[in-house]
Structure 1
Amino acid sequence: MADRSFLEWPFFDDHHRRLAEELDAWCAANLTGEHGADVDDACRALVRQLGEAGWLRYCVPAAYGGIHERLDVRSLAIVRETLARHDGLADFVFAMQGLGSGTISLFGNEEQKSFYLPSVAAGREIAAFALSEPDAGSDVAALETTFWPDREGLNVRGTKTFISNGGIADFYVVFAREEGTSGSGGISAVVVPGARIDASERIEVIAPHPLATLRIDTFTSHASLIGERGRGFAQAMATLDFFRTTVGAAALGFARRALDEATARVRDRRLRGAALADNAVVQSMLAEMALDVDAAALLVYRAAWIRDVQDRRNTREAAMAKLFATDSAQQVIDKAVQLFGGLGVTKGCIVERLYREIRALRIYEGASEVQKVVIARHHLAEAAR
């Protein structure tokens, strides 16, 4: 049983505590963490399952089938932490429904929200966030996918890569530069139906999930433009700011599961007639793991609380939460593998699965090195004031 004492912290309201309890019980009854070889089918099934159970309603505002009047980062973080602790692919599915539709939730017009968001909440349609390119990963302002308007609509052409839900998404929020512009000011966000994008070039990674390179050469209506033209860079950064805290929450869920599994292992495993848990070296490892988990939780839920309660951009705090939670979870899981010994690197062992699942979180939605730059810049700006 994972530690739930953090729910007593003042970051939360009673409805957050109920959410954590109810979702944990649902996950225990419905998720196994095991999926077949066809990861696309597994993700489609999970989208339907989470949608039918009502959990995807946390991904959109209440006016469009959601739970809260506006997106609540604390709820999103609790859901991601809980899902990740039980089933990493279920967490991925939930996260991509939120991130993939997030720009629409935050910046879309009424028609766009009404058209897309109810289907996302119900699990009827799968969303994707198409930002990264072969030569524009961390440097978003360097993206080369272009669009040019004509009387009938928008022509969009370019290549995106490492796009989650690539190949199974019903629609993509694509960030593209208006032809003839340079820098971040020429970027806009447009919604493109999945059927109009070539996502046949799939990418296999160590923790399988739908991932693809997108070849885009299509036409879409003027109505597909999200928000103000030329504001795409700011929209992308704001969307990532909003969901970056939840990446830390997913890492926290992985770390909690690793700590639970390692604790059970050393309590049951015997060495020279005594429980492995009685060994001082093992106790030191467990102490470090428990410390990292609690510190990560404090940073994650502080960042979420600042966004929800203080209603302000939490770029610095989200960067801290994402950086520390993902890096420390890697260390926690590595220690768990060590405590399991040879079994820890055996395919099918839970900690082996966690070891593969955590690694990508230190890269996507802003690599650890990028988060350090963000934190330092905010620190120096504050010092200058």
Structure 2
Amino acid sequence: MSYMNISENPIIALKAHDRKKLRYKCVNVMRSVVMRLDHFTPDTSHWLLRESANLARIQGIYATSKHLEYFTHESSMILHGIAPWNLSPPVCGYAGGRHNARCLDSIKIYNYTIPVSTYNPVSYAFAGSHPIHVQGMPVESLPFTCLRMAVSRPSTKALAAVSQMLHSLSNFSRHNSEVSRAKEIKIKGSLLAALDKEKKLHPYMQGYNRAKIVLSHTDAGCETLAEAVPQPIVSSIFANEYVSQYRITTNNRTYYADFAVPSIRLLIEFDDAGKLGTTEEEFLDARQSFLKRQSDLQALGYSFFRVTWNDLLGPNSLYYRLLRAALTVKADFRIRTNPVKRLSEDERII
């Protein structure tokens, strides 16, 4: 999932009495800011409405804030085209010494309401961080956004965010995994070096230990948000035993699994109905390919564990369901203590 282009999400910052002149459908984003509804209908999908509202809030803050210098955190991810794991993420930006956070009201588009959010200005700037312009707005670069998310967000959200950004930074391709993995290792090394440099400049830096674990155990093989979100759970149970974008060749066909644990021949995959197409013909073709793939892989002795959107909303339940699946495949399976598991337990995620 990637965010639409800014130009496809027009907002208007109003001046005095402008509201009386409006001759088109619009919705309030914040005080003195509205969003046109030309591209939406009552049947527009909820995820598209959420994306549009999140972008509109960022544009609204940019149009009305006097002290904002550049966007950070989830706002930076969105402007770089990467979806954060938040239905209604805060708008974050570096604003020097200004700390005046404010509430952003809920946004109702037809019959769907996007929940309230906040504008959180930050006063901390990383050494060497300089804003770049993305779609006409100042934003922190992806490497420094990785550092911010790793330092300040809970481990599951941080790992999901950094995995997606690392996927983008490395131009990861499952068809050229050796080169992609080499790039991943190099980028991880540079991120960890930048984190250590920041620690030397600020010895009492908060979130350093968590960030080091996040940056060390993130996975560039996660191609989508749906793959990045369960990655911390997979890593907690299987540590270094699992492989993302695992390649399997059989019967002159090549398949890729989202995650695989080769030692127990377990494949972990996101179950997305959207992969089966939108028309009856697409559905039947995709269904046939799906069944052929499953049959081929089961013939090799692999078993499947399917992850759904509901699973992603309950990491604790997902953890124990996946653990039971591992024990079903291998009765004497044992979890090895690892940093991601300890961090998830410390934060009471599992």
Q: TM-score if structure 1 supplies the norm length?
A: 0.23
Higher Rg of the two aligned structures: 2
Structure with greater proportional helix content: 1
Structure scoring higher RCO (CA < 8 A, sep ≥ 6) equals: 1
Structure with greater proportional strand content: 2
